[in-house]
Amino acid sequence: MLLGMLLGMILEAFGSADNHIQRPCLIVYHIGKAGGESLHRWAENAGLRLWTHYGKGGLEIFDQPSDRGTSKTWSRSVHDADVIMGHFAPRSRSGSFTDALQARNFTRKCQQWTILRDPLDLQASMLAYLYPGRKDAWKDCLLNRRLEGDGPCQSKQRGRHPFLHSSMCHSFDGQLDHWNRYNYDRDRGWPPTCQIHQAQQSLNNLNSVGFTEDMVSTIAAWAELFGLPTKATSWYAHTHVTKNNHGFGNLSANVQMAIVETSREDIILYRWAQMQFHRSSRTPIQATSTQN
């Protein structure tokens, strides 16, 4: 009897290990101000194990517990996760994000996605987040190259934020120093330039690209990946709104022009992505609303 119990425990252990390796997983390269907190909430509502890391760090972060989510659904390490999410870059000068996972013996094959947002609305939201209450200075924060993080352009975390210019494009062109976007050190020049073709290549290498204007299509695809019921799309709600962000259309003409000037590469990339993924069956686009 004891031998049978031991055999059963061994078979159960191997079975759970196999299930751990084979079960589906999802990597989401999170662009700041593109609905990330709402996606965290959806993963929790769906009962998925969420692992996130928003802060500096290298390979050691994969052994740490998720820094977002509730105790019911967060993962103790990346190896236990269904959904892996953070401000990570798929490619960088120090290697790819998936290479970093493999270096930590992560062998599962995850789908890789990102969510893009209309660049003008994204930039307006980013400014409201980084420089709240200083709308009068936003034009200078974007365009005045002599500002070194002083005065109104001093963000909450550090000096002038390095991703105010075309942050979506810079996330994917492979020119960042590290796959963890928090580990930036190198000055990319002013204004920083993005390699649009390389960013397009990175997006094409993902399983798909979603858009904040049509999250239902993205959530439906993820529900299918995890074998969730069709009603899983109703578990998503855009619940987080950046304080003092009243939308691009409500900004002054001067600030609007500054946002357009500093988002040119993002605008090109975003329009290309809409055409590319609209034509593909991977993610149809039906832009109907703007999120904050």
Q: Where are the domains of the chain?
A: 23-279
First to last CA, the chain: 62
Instruction: Indicate if the pLDDT at residue 49 is higher than 50.
Output: yes
- φ, ψ (nearest 5 deg) of residue 276: -65, -45
- φ, ψ (nearest 5 deg) of residue 53: -150, 120
The pLDDT tens digits for 260-285 are 998 999 999 999 999 998 644 444 33
The pLDDT tens digits for 92-133 are 998 999 999 999 999 999 999 999 999 999 999 888 888 887
Instruction: Indicate if the pLDDT at residue 43 is higher than 50.
Output: yes
Predicted confidence at residue 29, as pLDDT, reads: 98
Tell me the average pLDDT of the chain. 81
Higher pLDDT, 137 or 291: 137
Of 209, 211, 171, 200, whose CA–CA distance to 272 is shortest? 200
Q: In what order do the strands lie in the sheet with 50-53?
A: 50-53, 83-86, 26-29, 111-116, 208-211
Instruction: Indicate if the pLDDT at residue 232 is higher than 60.
Output: yes
Instruction: Indicate if the pLDDT at residue 289 is higher than 60.
Output: no
Instruction: Indicate if the pLDDT at residue 4 is higher than 80.
Output: no
Predicted confidence at residue 147, as pLDDT, reads: 55
The pLDDT tens digits for 166-224 are 889 999 999 888 999 888 765 555 557 889 999 999 999 999 999 999 999 999 999 99
What is the residue-wise DSSP string for 54-95? -SS-SGGGGGSPPSSS-TTTB-SSGGG-SEEEESB-SS-TT-
Predicted confidence at residue 7, as pLDDT, reads: 39
Give the contacts of 16 (CB within 8 A, at least 6 positions apart). Answer: none
Instruction: Indicate if the pLDDT at residue 8 is higher than 60.
Output: no
The pLDDT tens digits for 239-253 are 666 667 778 888 999
The answer to whether 287 touches 213, Cβ cutoff 8 Å, is yes
Give the contacts of 262 (CB within 8 A, at least 6 positions apart). Answer: 123, 142, 143, 164, 165, 166, 191
Using CA atoms, how far apart are residues 286 and 11, in angstroms rounded to an integer? 48
Instruction: Indicate if the pLDDT at residue 40 is higher than 80.
Output: yes
Higher pLDDT, 146 or 183: 183
The pLDDT tens digits for 57-92 are 999 999 999 998 776 677 888 999 999 999 999 999
- Whether domain 23-279 has CATH 3.10.129.10: the reply is no
174: left (phi over 0), alpha (psi -120 to 50) or beta: left
Instruction: Indicate if the pLDDT at residue 148 is higher than 60.
Output: no
| DSSP-assigned letter for residue 158 | S
| DSSP-assigned letter for residue 115 | E
